[in-house]
A and B are shown apart, each in its own frame.
Chain A
């Protein structure tokens, strides 16, 4: 059971270049998310998809686009990369709610480290 798989794990871009981060989950989850993680900032939500066919902005969506390709896959695209987008990106998915709080239990991928020069 792979869980959430992200590719690539590492990427170096020049300012202005474009790229797409890929994410796939094999848990049949309806909801998927993209977060970025920066030192001292915790994880911040970029975009999420509550279900196949829908996407919504999170806290920091500027400079990014997403595509929910199907139920399994949720990609994040940087059209014109900027140094401020240097970060570690995490994809997550969720379906299970806990018995105690009813909270979404997010399952995260291993992360994609992006450096923009």
Chain B
């Protein structure tokens, strides 16, 4: 079955630093991978996605890297800001319509 895990449950950084959040997965049949951000008291919010045939994708201040060989996904946040403090989830999508498998989440804390 599908499973998703995270290497680091918490990450603390200083404002302005770059942050890297990691995610390991087991289902090599996943078609796409998504990162969600969840702020306290709110539902998860879509950040960025990447298709399984890609290795890297960049957005605004965020970069997602996919290494299918070792089944590893990472989210890099450049110049981290206090507003980036949240829980970050990776999620896998496959052939089942709309059904995502979520990881456990990483708590990112950004100190001013």
A61 within 8 A of B: no
Q: Which residues of A contact B99 (CB under 8 A)?
A: 45, 48, 58
Query: Are B57 and A100 closer than 8 Å at their CB atoms?
Result: yes
Binding site for A on B (CB under 8 A): 4, 31-34, 41-46, 49-52, 54, 57, 89, 91, 93, 97-100, 102-105
Extra 8 A-B pairs, beta carbons < 8 Å, given A90-B43, A101-B31, A101-B93? A4-B43, A35-B102, A42-B4, A90-B44, A101-B33, A101-B34, A105-B46, A107-B46
Q: Which residues of B contact A110 (CB under 8 A)?
A: 41-43
Q: How many A-B residue pairs have CB under 8 A?
A: 75
Measured between C-beta atoms, what is the minimum distance from B35 to chain A in Å?
11
C-alpha spacing A110/B97, complex, angstroms: 23
Say whether, besides A43-B102, A103-B93, A108 and B32 are in contact (CB < 8 Å). no
Say whether, besides A100-B49, A100-B50, A111-B42, A106 and B97 are in contact (CB < 8 Å). no
Query: Are A42 and B103 closer than 8 Å at their CB atoms?
Result: yes
Q: Which residues of B contact A53 (CB under 8 A)?
A: none
Say whether, besides A102-B51, A103-B32, A45 and B42 are in contact (CB < 8 Å). no
Measured between C-beta atoms, what is the minimum distance from B63 to chain A in Å?
13
Measured between C-beta atoms, what is the minimum distance from B61 to chain A in Å?
17
List the B residue with the shortest CB-CB distance to A30. B98
